[in-house]
Structure 1
Amino acid sequence: MTAAAVTGSPVDIPTPDGTADAYLARPLDDSAPHPGVLFYMDAFGLRPHLKKMADRLAAAGYTVLVPNVMYRNGRAPLVDLPEFINPADRPEIFQKIRPLMESLTPDAAMRDAGAYLDWLAASPLTGDGPVGVTGYCMGAALALRTAGTHPDRVAAAAGFHGAYLATEAPDSPHLVAEHVTAELYFGHADQDATNPPEQIDRLDKALTAAGVRHRTEVYAGARHGFTQADTAMHSAEAAERHWTALLDLLGRTLRTAA
């Protein structure tokens, strides 16, 4: 499908803590319902590139919701970003973003997740049944937490170049594994200080011990952020591999569940 087959629009999502601004993408058809996908942003936030990614996913036949998960700090964009993001040249970007990321606690994020899932369930543009979730960078942890916090509402979840997914912290994302009923996929970057081999191994062992259907792959030569074409970390090859894996997961799980 082409970009002309998709329509996107801004939407506001009521949450227990306020109103989250978001982007909604869906196939441009007769307004028929399609399987829902909750798309969690990376640290750079809701911006044109993420909207293009949501459009591509919608073109495959999904209703895609991309919330600004840092809405408590304001509507997107929260940080003035260059058209092409190279953190090495602009270290002040992360200096501004890091406090915003740290302000989003797991409890607050999962209250929001319930609101996002409620909105998708109530929308006439979304089909009945559980949804899929995909997340990038910090969004990969949110995708995993959402699958564990709302197991009856999530059929599949994927995370790409996730950060700090299986730490030794008492609230590490991987500790929700015992509650997950969805099928999971993780595409890790092998050049990623935020997700070292020992954390990848810890995550995989936790999912296996919990009996979670999952697949984890390490993308050789990929850096943290490899899916993001508007950044210096982008890898075209790894990004396309991610699309193949994501669409395969959603195609098998959501079409069956719908």
Structure 2
Amino acid sequence: MTAAAAASGIAVSAFAEDAGARPVTAKDVSVKTADGSADAALFYPSGKGKWPAVLMWPDILGLRPVFREMGKRLAAQGYVVLVPNPYYRARKAPVVEGPFDFNNREDMARISAFRDGLTDAMVDRDSAAFITFLDAQPQTDRKRKAGVQGYCMSGPLSFRTAAVRPDRIGAVATFHPGALVTDKASSPHLLIPRTRAAYLVLIAKNDAERMPKEKPDLDAAFAAARRTAKVEVYPANHGWTVAGSQTYDEQQAERAWAELLPFYRANLR
């Protein structure tokens, strides 16, 4: 995200008009983890029924109203959705309130302090706890695989979740993800062989311009691991799926949404 954004988020006003949308129950919950208790938002279709679980990691600004709306929108399509506060060790959500400018050094230093405090080991412990929590919900259909999705910095977190719980994660979706291919031993793409999931990776055009090798490297990694995957560069800039960002592109966001639903239907079985 390269321009100012509203940290409080903007509601996805169209979500209730989606075809087949169900009434949704929303709850604020506390998830027990190895390091304490994480505040999170839980959404699921109201009434009787069991549904596949999805862990929705938020972007770098964390759990806030726009991600609550996104979680609710997905739940309305027949999923049990958990949107956690990844920074719960430091502060309850929302960790940033009011206007936020990604071009402002002070604003970036403020949020980077939260992100830098989140280690891979913490993410792995949290991923396990969040999936365990979802599986404990009476609305979750544990006979079907679970999904995980991430945005920006949480694209790599989603890859880590799939590696931590390969027995449960059947689908990974990432939207304008942070670097998935690096030269470090901890590079997310090196985790692919440890997973058993299908992948939907939608890359922002300006990220692809900065990292022209990422798409071909990912394609090669998925092929080598024999994982079903679609890696596509969208004609939109980083942050295009999150309403409230100045890079939000409604047309391309809805296109990504239209790809996500059949992807989950095909792979969360």
Q: TM-score, normalised by structure 2?
A: 0.88
Deviation at 1:238, TM superposition (A): 1.4
Q: Map 1:1-258 to 2 at 5 A.
A: 2=16, 5-30=23-48, 32-82=49-99, 85-88=100-103, 90-129=104-143, 130-192=145-207, 196-220=211-235, 222-254=236-268, 257=269
Contact 1:163 1:194 in 2 (8 A): no
- The code of the aligned residue for 1:47 comes to R
CA 1:127–1:229 in 2, change beyond 3 Å: closer, same or farther?
same
Structure 2, unmatched stretches of 5+, are: 1-14
- The code of the aligned residue for 2:233 comes to V
Deviates further, 73-82 or 47-56: 73-82
Measure the CA separation in 2 of the matches of 1:94 and 1:119: 32
SS at match of 1:226: coil
Deviates further, 204-213 or 54-63: 204-213
SS at match of 2:257: helix
Q: 1:114-166: per-residue Cα shift (whole Å, max 9, x none)?
A: 00010011110211132011111111111111112211110111111000111
CA 1:229–1:91 in 2, change beyond 3 Å: closer, same or farther?
farther
Q: TM-score, normalised by structure 1?
A: 0.92
SS at match of 2:217: helix
Contact 1:81 1:93 in 2 (8 A): no
Q: 1:191-245: per-residue Cα shift (whole Å, max 9, x none)?
A: 127962212222221111111111111102x111110111111111111111011
Identity over aligned pairs, percent = 38
Measure the CA separation in 2 of the matches of 1:57 and 1:65: 10
Q: 1:34-78: per-residue Cα shift (whole Å, max 9, x none)?
A: 111100110011000001111110110111000111111111111
Contact 1:163 1:195 in 2 (8 A): no
Structure 1, unmatched stretches of 5+, are: none
Structure with larger RCO (C-alpha < 8 A, sep 6+):
2
RMSD over equivalenced CA pairs, Å:
1.7
SS at match of 1:44: coil
Contact 1:86 1:232 in 2 (8 A): no
Count of matched residue pairs = 250
